[in-house]
Structure 1
């Protein structure tokens, strides 16, 4: 251990921090040394963490240093991510370090100023990136198995017992989420069709527009006007003529991801005021003929059924009026069968 301590000190002085072998040595050292040596290693690395998070061992070491660091050192660690947050978010291993910062740092004002604001200002680049999307997803839904795998969640949870984090998860995550809402939702509304159809970000989009559930770690509230803008974007996409099995591109009602998103968002309608409900936006924005045409496909029938189940009296009245029962009886899809059963009160 003594020789390892000397080697790490010497190599560190030679500014070769990007070497993966050094990351392995430092991680092994940190995991096996006493508190004093941990503190010494932290002191030598606290202003250099962004330089070695590009390898699995380097990222793991950085995370463990963040958990170990007292409040003062944590502030310095955060400040050293200035102008490097987007780069870190788009790294295979580096993005995990940002998640650890979100979990650990109590000074959310500083974290929003240095890290989250940089991420918010590069929303398009991050959401289009495999790792960047995970970081934004985490700010919306921390510890969500749809965004990161269970093993990673379990590892991050190891840091929850660190002695220096005092703020509740509810407060910390809520304050960080507030730092991205102003940029996130306008981006979603402006790029909804591309995200759902081309980028295959249906899980991400659905997660951003969900209401708070018992599984959430904080009370996530989508700003009212932001939700209305996203609903309006969906309505514009849904207005397009529905041609079943269109070879030039599926309508949102028939597209696998589109139907998933519609049902997922509408599931939350029961928890929302009427003017924020997607089901209301759809019946207000689409004609009777447009809504009624959806019975021609299985997914369309399921969406109409969801509207009947979650919608208020106005939605139910308009959906029933749009469904031509004689035409519906001619369809044999599973969706058509369950829709008919529901209409018949079975």
Structure 2
């Protein structure tokens, strides 16, 4: 019966592929079949953890190893099949003849297929057979009988004995599953897990539990090696492209870096990392091209830049330096240290050497202007170069101005050239790129500016302004709007654009107006934004002034924007809250500045010719025709004046002496007393107290206000101002407050000096009955003293008294 089953299994194993069927629901054990392949083992044999293991995760950690399929032989007739069967059984009998597995511990791990068969016999297959029969597809062979035979067969005879003999001779064995698990968990004593009868030598556990790897075919290894080599080549190419993109890097330096990247091993990198930072930087510098030349040129530069170097020595150093750097200037101009060397050579070199440097670098001017360090060499040519050099530098910018003005580094160079060294024609050449292609197309030699172009060809206005708008919109950035070139173009656009185009541009520009107010053209642009902006635009602009109001008041051109704002903004509440409150908090700082006083004077008396030049008034008048202001101008002015009057009057009280004795503050003081809404009695009394101080003629240590050059002028203006106050119907007059404050005999002491006599004359010329009567009363008996005095004021005062002698008894 056994022989029949084996023959059947052999026939099935060597049957054609079309007759074999693969079982899908059978879980193979690690035990092999010594009698050959059968229907149960058509799948590839797999090596897994022993089935008696309680940890299934080990099977997944070790992985699965599958052997390649074996090539099956095909037999043409029964004779060849019988011969192959006899050869197979003879080979099987000799295989298990001397094997004894009786003493083998079942937990030990074998190292041959026969040992696997002895240690792990086929488990009970009855349940699996029944389950497989239920799931077996129709038409597959019935293998129930074969499984039952394999279960009853057990271990081959002699397998345990043979394995025990090998173990007794000291054959090394593999650790068991429990020992592997304990080794992975860190248990060091693995000998206690072995059985007492185990005399074999336990192999040391591996350093770390590694899953069994599948053997890779030669094709896979070749493909992976090829992909790795391709990756390295791609990395080297990328590095080379990066080095090529660096301006000024030589080919020798790139080759050196590539060779270092390939040849440097881990030991060299470790040694470089162990060095201090300064040493590492020095090593890297030494690997660069022209290292020795760079070091020597820096030494020369260090001596050449000193101010105490003699002219002869400086000439020698320049000659040596020129010899060293000639031919390498393009590379040296982009480094932070060698760029300074070339700057010094341009500054201190002779005209011939400066010409040599320029001839080598003239093709790189536009590129150098974009460099963080090379741009200073371009500036040196503008400062120390000849007229030809400057023209060449400015000409190199042509065609790239719109890009350069937006560049962080190049914008400084273009701005410097435009403001300091460009003539009118060169400025136009730099600006005409913003006018668009239409201007370039229709420009003639006679046309030198945009207004001339629009005057000659007015039909091209809309086309040119449309191109200007497209060119200006990308320039609305914080860093770009600080340049005067941009301010000029924006100003010309607002001058010639229609109201609709102006309003659209204001909407785009309103958040950045504050960055343009430090120049003349920029302040005019800001004024146009207030004039032609809507109420919302004006509100946004005013809010952007927050924390910058005092600075704007003190700027030469920025304070003009505030004057235009006072003229046209109807929402006086937001002006008071956002601008005036912040300004009044630093009132002393504003009032002591020449431009800040203009802002305060405009609040007190707008467009007063005593304080504002006609040209300024003419500029401000342009905003009166704006289409967005609806409130009456007088109402707007009174609302702002009421808000600041009380604090301005209090400022006089707190700073009376400084204001009275300062010529610049005198006009502000008079304007406050004249136009401020409120009672000025406190301010007038504070000034009268200073005038009432004891007077000593000719005292230089503590000069009285009457003799002071600015003080006597202040008193004169205040006394003469009372005439206007009398006509306006004011009841509080400074002259009356002054006479009330002065002590008896003070007016007689004033008559001892020339300026004091004129103060008395001004009081008498007011023609106010009360004031004139009080003055003449205090001057009784001084006519004899006045006759003895020779200065002009005494003579005029005596004549004035003689004229009044008929009316008053003197």
Which of 735, 741, 746 is 1:285 aligned to?
741
* Cα drift, residue 256 of structure 1: 2.7
Counterpart position of 1:7: 471
Residues 14 and 294 of structure 1: CA distance in aligned 2, closer, same or farther (over 3 Å)? closer
The number of residue pairs the alignment matches comes to 335
Q: Distance in 1 between matches of 2:635 and 2:475?
A: 40
| 1:162 counterpart = 2:626 | yes
TM-score in terms of structure 1 length: 0.89
CA-atom RMSD, angstroms?
Answer: 2.2
Residues 173 and 36 of structure 1: CA distance in aligned 2, closer, same or farther (over 3 Å)? closer
Consecutive unaligned residues in structure 2, runs of 5 or more: 1-463, 805-810
SS at match of 1:82: coil
List, as ranges, runs of 4+ consecutive aligned residues in structure 1 with deviation greater than 6 Å: none
Q: Distance in 1 between matches of 2:571 and 2:760?
A: 46
**1:1-346 alignment runs, 5 A limit:** 1=464, 2-13=466-477, 15-198=479-662, 200-210=664-674, 220-224=675-679, 227-270=680-723, 271=725, 276-310=732-766, 312-323=768-779, 324-345=782-803
Residues 274 and 155 of structure 1: CA distance in aligned 2, closer, same or farther (over 3 Å)? closer
Q: Distance in 1 between matches of 2:497 and 2:743?
A: 70
Q: Distance in 2 between matches of 1:158 and 1:274?
A: 35
Larger radius of gyration: 2
> With CA pairs under 8 Å and 6+ residues apart, which has the higher RCO, 1 or 2?
1
Q: Distance in 1 between matches of 2:604 and 2:731?
A: 23
* Cα drift, residue 175 of structure 1: 1.2
Q: Distance in 1 between matches of 2:711 and 2:662?
A: 11
Q: Which protein is richer in helix relative to its size?
A: 1
Residues 13 and 230 of structure 1: CA distance in aligned 2, closer, same or farther (over 3 Å)? closer
Residues 147 and 249 of structure 1: CA distance in aligned 2, closer, same or farther (over 3 Å)? farther
Do 2:503 and 2:534's aligned partners in 1 also have CA atoms closer than 8 Å?
no
Residues 100 and 263 of structure 1: CA distance in aligned 2, closer, same or farther (over 3 Å)? same
* Cα drift, residue 166 of structure 1: 2.4
Q: Distance in 2 between matches of 1:110 and 1:14?
A: 25
Q: Distance in 1 between matches of 2:716 and 2:530?
A: 40
Do 2:645 and 2:676's aligned partners in 1 also have CA atoms closer than 8 Å?
no
Q: Distance in 1 between matches of 2:558 and 2:799?
A: 52
TM-score in terms of structure 2 length: 0.40
Deviation digits for residues 53-106 of structure 1, max 9, x if unmatched? 011110011111211112332222222222222121111111000000011111
Q: Distance in 1 between matches of 2:478 and 2:760?
A: 66
Residues 14 and 171 of structure 1: CA distance in aligned 2, closer, same or farther (over 3 Å)? closer
SS at match of 1:180: helix
SS at match of 1:276: coil
Deviation digits for residues 141-186 of structure 1, max 9, x if unmatched? 1112333322111111121122222222221111111121121111
Residues 8 and 158 of structure 1: CA distance in aligned 2, closer, same or farther (over 3 Å)? same
* Cα drift, residue 14 of structure 1: 6.8
Q: Distance in 2 between matches of 1:16 and 1:42?
A: 17
Do 1:55 and 1:94's aligned partners in 2 also have CA atoms closer than 8 Å?
yes
